[in-house]
Amino acid sequence: MEKQISNNALTNVQVLIMAIASGVCVANVYYNQPILQDIALSFRVSEGEAGSISVLTQVGYGLGIFFLIPLGDKINKKKLILCLLTCLFCLLIGMTFSQNIIEVWILSVAIGIATVSAQIILPLAASIDRVTTGQTVGNIFTGILIGVLGARVFSGYIAEWLSWRYVYGFSAGMILIVIVLLNIYLPSVKNEFNGYYLALLSSTLHQLKRFSLLREASLISGLLFGVFCSFWTTLTFHLSGAPFNFQSDTIGMYGFVAIAGALMAPVFGKLADQGNSQRSLTIAVSMVIASLVIAKIASNSALAIAVAVLLLDVGVQATQVTNVARIYGLDAQSNSRINTVYMTTYFIGGSIGTSIGLLCWNLGGWNLVTWQMLFFTAIAFFIIVRPKTTTARINNK
């Protein structure tokens, strides 16, 4: 069944289904993180070999972002999304019955590639809803965030009570339900790009040169996502050591605090729709700075860390939602290519943040990590508040 768009708007049901689908899809990138030890024991391999699963999934996701997302401007987005989700369903079934670690490695890369459907749903929604783009993107992005943050909790509990294989089996079932719902409710949009695939990739890189706002938004979000990854990568080490000595289940509870923060994303989406994105970004990044100051000066307080988690998550996600709403207003016919540039930069920022965060932890512990995160955030804050020309100021609203 094909639903055609009308009045440049999406219904609440469509937005809800798109948000759920995005969260269910992107969660597959993160399911493996809490169950790597279980997989290692299952196949009798080392922790390092099992740890490669997480890396390979991220590599696949990065490849999908660059090579598949631009196709959303050439191929019917609905058909592309359903095709990728169908492939993801088959891959998850394969992972459920995998026989050795090599199969798991290959399937991990493929699963990472197929999970980019969520990054095609976002520009699809933005290209349809031109009036309340920020609010719509915020709602769908909330679904993505809940999927990212809840994936670790879900897979950990399923693996503890059943087996790590059931994590992928249950995920395959959820993907199947999502395929049915999207086939019924997802609207179809006609695309304008008629060139060849290589021309499409070349055009994708051209978007970075074409829009200064895209360069600015990508850099700001890349820096903030780097902070986010530095924080969560090292927080486990911080909380598992003195004076906390928390177990993994207790540390996991901080993920629920982050999910609560993710629910604030639509609020900042509405602010972006009102036209003053700089105000929204200034507030958001100020919240990140406040969270890091709290995490630094009250590093031995479990309650203070929880407050820092909440403020950090709200600030980072608000920055993301605001910037996504901004870039999707540049050229509706190029949204997928614009999103490719943005998400590639975002992904690189996260990878750099993770690597530098681990390096700082090894060199100077939590104190040095918080300084590193404050440095990244200060650069982002300067980019936002720096004086702009009149043309740029209008363009950046």
What's 267's domain CATH number?
1.20.1250.20
Bigger pLDDT: 155 or 107? 107
Last residue of a domain, one of 133, 158, 184: 184
Same domain as 209, residue 171: no
Concatenate the DSSP letters of all residues of 80-127 into one string: HHHHHHHHHHHHHHHHHT--SHHHHHHHHHHHHHHGGGHHHHHHHHHH
* pLDDT band per the 50, 70, 90 thresholds, residue 379: very high
395 lies in some domain = no
Same domain as 206, residue 137: no
> Is-contact 137 126, C-beta < 8 A?
yes
Last residue of a domain, one of 136, 161, 184: 184
Same domain as 158, residue 79: yes
Same domain as 169, residue 66: yes
CA 344 to chain centre: 11
* Distance between CA atoms of residues 270 and 328, nearest Å: 14
49 lies in some domain = yes
Last residue of a domain, one of 184, 207, 227: 184
* Distance between CA atoms of residues 302 and 316, nearest Å: 21
Dihedral-angle region of residue 13 (phi above 0 means left; psi in -120 to 50 means alpha; beta otherwise): alpha
Same domain as 200, residue 149: no
Same domain as 274, residue 167: no
Helix or strand (DSSP H, E) at 68: none
Concatenate the DSSP letters of all residues of 140-202 into one string: HHHHHHHHHHHHHHHHHHHHHHS-HHHHHHHHHHHHHHHHHHHHHHPEE------S-HHHHHH
Same domain as 300, residue 265: yes
Query: What's the domain range around 326?
Result: 195-386
Helix or strand (DSSP H, E) at 4: strand 3-4
Q: What is the pLDDT of residues 90-132, one digit of tens each?
A: 999 999 999 999 999 999 999 999 999 988 998 888 778 766 7
Same domain as 200, residue 176: no
Which token pair is 265? 């994303």
347 lies in some domain = yes
Same domain as 206, residue 75: no
Same domain as 259, residue 224: yes
Looking from the CA of 120 toward its CB, the CA atoms found within 13 Å total 34
Q: What is the pLDDT of residues 178-191, one digit of tens each?
A: 999 999 999 887 77
> Is-contact 66 340, C-beta < 8 A?
yes
Same domain as 342, residue 200: yes
